[in-house]
Amino acid sequence: MLSCRKCLTPKLSMMFKNIPIGKYGKYVPYIQTLLDIIIIAVVFVSLLSCNDYTIVAEGGHHVWRVILAVGVVAVVVGRGCLSVHQRRMMRVERLVGMALLASLSSTILYAAMMMFTGYAGIKIGFFSLLFFLQAGLLLSVWLVSLALLKWIRRHGRNTRNVVIIGTGHAAVRLTQLLVGEQGYGMKVLGYFDNRIPSDFSGNFIGTIDRLEGFIKENDVHEIFYAASIDNDTLINKVIHLADQHFCKLYFTPLISPKLKYSFYMFNLNSTIPVIAVHQTPLRSVANRAIKRIFDILFSGFVLLLSPLVLIPIAIAIKISSPGPVFFKQLRTGYLGKDFYCYKFRTMRVSKDADTRQATKNDDRKTRLGNILRHTSIDELPQFWNVFKGDMSVVGPRPHMLAHTEEYRKLIDQYMVRHLVKPGITGWAQIQGFRGATDELWQMERRVDNDVWYIEHWSLSLDLKIIVRTVTNAIRGEENAY
């Protein structure tokens, strides 16, 4: 088998080498989008053709309804799918989120179109099945396409020739990204800079005066400007060269590597480029809507089933120690607003509950409370917080008000964790950062993980965190006390 694979790989490489991918590459996103639309339409029509879901009315089969629905979905959802395929590279987590969004959008549009055309005979089960089938098929096709594209680019096809202006730290970091991720298909040909470096290890070609000749001779597709932007004459010259030779030009801001914050750029009013701190996907209304819908559905499902667990636990708590069944405490929430967070009471009633953090051998814990905390069952009432909108299923854990006031003065990015709703579980928790924080570095690492989650949020990441949380709870976590 191994020898066959060795024989096959060169043959496949030669086959792709002979395909003029560069010539026809611009059509690939449109072909992929057409395939997405076909998948969405075929799934819809196939389900309708099943015996239980055939569209039948007094006037007979209303094919025009199906055609109208498919047409509307193709136009609206197709534009979103095209934006996915026109990007040079997408992460798997992003693809999962986009597939779910495309499927959700098409499902809602189909439901609206069927109601608009006067047909209300399709049950909710039909649209649930439609959503999951579309999402599964779209994601499968996208993942196969992504893997194939990466393979093709690793073998030297569908690549883009790139030159970099600048030889400083920004150019080095840019090169590490472009070369390190071969799936981008970027081939760095060399570097230009009017300041000749003494210890630069890259392929230094020469001063910027040599740029135009090099572009003509080497079929350069893209130029990355990673030098100082205080020379207007030089910048205008580079822009003119890029325009004359149809090269895409990108500017890489010179931000000190000592700054540990993340930055992203956008155009203010489509005219002024602005660099912002902290890229937060949940600033998007669409992303917030997706997360909120998921929270309502997930927490609602848990709350419907919870009486089977809540009632026996409530009785056991009342029997085990005097005091209320539930423990509520003010915690810091979204944008620094306080809210009451609910839990099963796992400790004896005490006056210092709002300031003293639970520890491993805390003498306030009851015997039943130990079990509830170790299995995280004490967190179940927080699904009511999620359903109300105070919390999310996944997010940074909410802290006591006293801890917020203490750590906001000690840790630079501490308050950044409140840019999203707090969660029942989170990225920091599945990385092992839960429980008491005896030393400052422990809280710093927890905050770093919370900020990373905020800047990299996706629905697929939330699902991953939930799965990891459940498996950790089943095994029993060492830091759950």
In the predicted structure, residue 481 carries a pLDDT above the cut 50? no
Q: Kindly indicate the confidence band of residue 9, based on its pLDDT and cuts at 50, 70 and 90.
A: very low
- In the chain, CATH 3.40.50.720 covers 160-259
Average confidence (pLDDT) over 411-429? 92
Q: Which residue has the higher pLDDT, 36 or 24?
A: 36
Q: Which of 83-97, 126-140, 173-187, 464-478 has the lowest mean pLDDT?
A: 83-97
Q: Kindly indicate the confidence band of residue 55, based on its pLDDT and cuts at 50, 70 and 90.
A: very low
Task: For residue 59, count other CB atoms closer than 10 A to its CB.
Answer: 6
In this prediction, residue 13 carries a pLDDT of 45
In this prediction, residue 475 carries a pLDDT of 74
Average confidence (pLDDT) over 158-165? 86
Instruction: Give the bridge partners for 208, in sequence order.
Output: none
Q: Which residue has the higher pLDDT, 224 or 179?
A: 224
Average confidence (pLDDT) over 90-119? 72
Average confidence (pLDDT) over 274-295? 84
In this prediction, residue 356 carries a pLDDT of 62
Q: Which long-range contacts (CB under 8 A, 24 or more apart) does 26-34 make?
A: 28/85, 29/82, 29/85, 29/86, 30/82, 30/85, 32/81, 32/85, 32/145, 33/78, 33/81, 33/82, 33/85
**Three-class secondary structure of residue 6 per DSSP:** helix
Average confidence (pLDDT) over 259-284? 72
Structure tokens at 447: 């905050």
Over the stretch 127-141, which tens digit does the pLDDT of each residue have? 788 888 888 888 888
Q: Kindly indicate the confidence band of residue 418, based on its pLDDT and cuts at 50, 70 and 90.
A: very high
Q: Kindly indicate the confidence band of residue 353, based on its pLDDT and cuts at 50, 70 and 90.
A: low
In the predicted structure, residue 88 carries a pLDDT above the cut 90? no
Question: What's the fold here for domain 160-259?
Answer: Rossmann fold (3.40.50)
Cβ 419 vs Cβ 457: under 8 Å: no
In this prediction, residue 24 carries a pLDDT of 52
Q: Kindly indicate the confidence band of residue 423, based on its pLDDT and cuts at 50, 70 and 90.
A: very high
In the predicted structure, residue 477 carries a pLDDT above the cut 80? no
Helix (H) or strand (E) holding 341: strand 338-344
Q: Which of 1-5, 184-188, 303-307, 352-356 has the lowest mean pLDDT?
A: 1-5
Q: Which residue has the higher pLDDT, 77 or 312?
A: 312
In the predicted structure, residue 396 carries a pLDDT above the cut 90? yes
Of 284, 461, 293, 287, the residue nearest 389 (C-alpha): 293
Cβ neighbours for 362, distance < 8 A, ≥ 6 positions apart:
347, 481
Cα angle 266, 153, 2; round to 5: 140
Over the stretch 243-266, which tens digit does the pLDDT of each residue have? 888 888 888 876 655 566 667 666
Q: Kindly indicate the confidence band of residue 318, based on its pLDDT and cuts at 50, 70 and 90.
A: confident
- The model carries a pTM of 0.61
Q: Whole-angstrom Cα distance, residue 167 to residue 198?
A: 10
